Amino acid sequence: MVRSMPTGGWIKLLLTIFGFGLLISVLTSIDFGQVIDLIPRVGWGMLLVLAVACLAFTADVASWLMVCPDLPVNLRNLAALWKVRMVGEMLNIVTPAAGIGGEPFKALILINSFGIRPREAIASVLVAKSIILLSYIPFLAIGFGLMLATPHLSEQYVIAAGIGLCMYTAAISGFFLVQSYRVSSSLGRRLHRYRFASKLERILNEIRAVDHELERLYTLGSCRLGCALGFAFFGWILGATELLVISTLLGYPLPLADAWTIEAIVQLLRQATGFIPGSLGVMEGSMLLLYRAYTGDESVGVAVALVRRMREVVWIIGGMIFGFSYLYGSDRSESGRFRLF
């Protein structure tokens, strides 16, 4: 008997097909032979691209470590969280879950690897994600300011970016306030009056426990939270630097201000289209339009996007290797629990 594919599987398949359709549309709209000629220029410079991307990734990991008070801040734990985040980000890229598909797995590995209680692991993952999203607001705001000063982009681009900045800021601020003011616990108390809530008592208790842990993490002190935001913001800057490095290797160097603006817009579109695995086709299309405006050559934008895809493939492979090591390899202890070292 042939089993039908789950609804989630069909949705993922359709979104992946849609992304491939966008990608093909972009590639057929340009001289792809010119793109093929550009990419070999990167050569051994790909190692430099990977090094900058690795630094950006490490900055985000350091930001996460700052909001894990139960873990001492040292290189050992930084390396451990690096592996955990690699697995989570691999899943974030390949799943249509708006960049959060790997977050539950990060929490699960924390629980099994470090012996951290579930509520603490979940809270640390939520806070770490919130810090990265919050740090993007000033990065995007600076990009918007640079956009206003450039003659390359039309008024339509500027207006769209301004609307995106306002919507993103409102959405992330709301997400942050929900955590900070324990809205989930308040909702649980309201539901508790109803008869059916007794069946949800265990879930409501866990929600209240996670909210309590979130409150504890957000009151760690201005020093640790400030460091977390600083590391996360530095990670966004390194993302723009990666774009600058790739452009330079391809023979089209950009000022940092232009690379910053392009990165800010591309990341905004990627987050808005996170339901498409890897924002397939979206990054290529946005790079095409932006590099056409800044360099006059749309093929360069597609070449930059494809080089980034090559770097993402390395990230995906690394995440898969670490992921399988947790499941089947030496990162699993004799008791059946995962371990990192």
User: Tell me: the pLDDT tens digits for 234-250?
Assistant: 999 999 999 999 999 99
With a CB cutoff of 8 Å and minimum separation 6, the contacts of 86 are: 57, 315, 318, 319, 322
Asked whether 302 and 35 are in contact (CB, 8 A), the reply is yes
Would you place residue 324 in the very low, low, confident or very high pLDDT band (cuts 50, 70, 90)? Answer: confident
Whole-number pLDDT of residue 147 = 86
Q: How far apart are the C-alpha atoms of 93 and 306, rounded to whole Å?
A: 15
Q: What is the mean pLDDT of residues 330-339?
A: 45
Whole-number pLDDT of residue 123 = 79
- DSSP per residue, 170-235: HHHHHHHHHHHTTHHHHHHHHHTTSGGGGGGHHHHHHHHHHHHHHHHHHTS-HHHHHHHHHHHHHH
Q: How far apart are the C-alpha atoms of 251 and 42, rounded to whole Å?
A: 9
Of the ranges 128-142, 226-240, 276-290, 292-306, which one carries the lowest mean pLDDT score? 276-290
Whole-number pLDDT of residue 160 = 81
Whole-number pLDDT of residue 338 = 43
Whole-number pLDDT of residue 7 = 52
pLDDT beyond 70 at 99:
no
Chain segment 111-159, per-residue pLDDT in tens: 887 777 777 787 788 888 888 888 999 999 998 888 888 777 777 778 8
The whole-model pTM stands at: 0.82
Query: How is the chain split into domains, by residue range?
Result: 33-328
Whole-number pLDDT of residue 261 = 92
CB atoms under 10 Å from CB of 214, counted, come to: 23
175/265: higher pLDDT: 265
Q: What is the mean pLDDT of residues 311-335?
A: 73
Whole-number pLDDT of residue 126 = 82
Q: Find which of 56-60, 132-136, 314-318 is predicted with most confidence, using mean pLDDT.
A: 56-60
Would you place residue 189 in the very low, low, confident or very high pLDDT band (cuts 50, 70, 90)? Answer: low
222/297: higher pLDDT: 297
Upper half-sphere CA count for residue 16 (Cβ side, 13 Å): 9
Of the ranges 30-39, 225-234, 331-340, which one carries the lowest mean pLDDT score? 331-340
Whole-number pLDDT of residue 250 = 94
Which H or E run includes 283? helix 282-295
